[in-house]
Amino acid sequence: MKNSFYILTLFILTTFQYVFGQQSKQDTIFIRKDSLKGVSQSIFIETNKNSKFYKNITSFKFGMFDKESYDESLDYLKKNKIKLKKQKTFLLSKKWIALKLYSEQFYAYYPCDFYSYYQVSVNDTTYIDWTGEGPIANKILSQKKLNDTTFKIKVTGILEQDRTITINIIDKPRGIAVFTEETAQNGKKQFLMIMADQIKTVPFIVNNCETSKQSELKFEEPNFDKLLKHKWKEKRTHNTCIAISGAVRKYNGQH
């Protein structure tokens, strides 16, 4: 009788582990999964909101070589007698992370190689670009709140001496914005960004390359004109959300 009980218990536990394991595998949606010649890479949609990838992607802590690039940018300001001055910050968030467009949806992205990664942080004296070279501090010359969803900041620094950044909030509930940068040297550039503390409001793609650097996932180019035209406003109806969704697609001249 005891043997029968043990056999039944073992059978139930084994079945449970098998079913649970299968379910866990199904919960992970893989975009790509390779393991060739000692190279391991998996690109997947992260569903665990408490994973290490969320923690790493929202970190603004200095790494091993970050202090060197940061100090170099501050030295440039000192040598050129550009003094930092405290002023009120108007932005809705002080920390921003790059957002991507994939299959006509917004995604946060954890890259294989962080050299191409981009973040922004703002304090009461500096606008900081977090790039593959490390954090670069720029002096905030001026900043304005144009309305509840539009902000303009002028900065100067080692990379660009005359730079204007316009931040348009296009989806306030999820903290999504279009950053438009304009400089005399490099012209106009635009980025999709999301408030760091709102990252869990969008899906999250992880490019996990375990043994060596691999290719990054290819993303679509947003139609920024449409995104800005249909940006979210508090009093707008659900149709506006549909309009934004329609604008989030690969730019190909379609209307």
pLDDT, one tens digit per residue, over 27-80 is 667 776 665 444 577 888 999 999 999 999 999 998 888 999 999 999 999 999
What pLDDT is stored for residue 145 in this prediction? 95
Beta bridge partners of residue 248, listed in sequence order: none
94 in a domain, yes or no?
Answer: yes
What pLDDT is stored for residue 34 in this prediction? 64
28 in a domain, yes or no?
Answer: no
What pLDDT is stored for residue 216 in this prediction? 81
Structural domains of the chain, count = 1
- What is the C-alpha separation between 91 and 71, in angstroms, rounded? 25
The helix (run of H) or strand (run of E) holding residue 107 is strand 105-110
58 in a domain, yes or no?
Answer: yes
What pLDDT is stored for residue 184 in this prediction? 83
80 in a domain, yes or no?
Answer: yes
**DSSP β-ladder status, 105-110 and 119-122:** unpaired
- What is the C-alpha separation between 12 and 18, in angstroms, rounded? 10
237 in a domain, yes or no?
Answer: yes
> What is the value of pTM for the model shown?
0.77
124 in a domain, yes or no?
Answer: yes
24 in a domain, yes or no?
Answer: no
The helix (run of H) or strand (run of E) holding residue 143 is strand 134-147
What pLDDT is stored for residue 233 in this prediction? 54
What pLDDT is stored for residue 39 in this prediction? 56
210 in a domain, yes or no?
Answer: yes
Ranges of residues in the chain with a pLDDT under 70 are 1-28, 32-39, 211-212, 232-255
What pLDDT is stored for residue 32 in this prediction? 65
Full domain range(s) for residue 129: 33-247
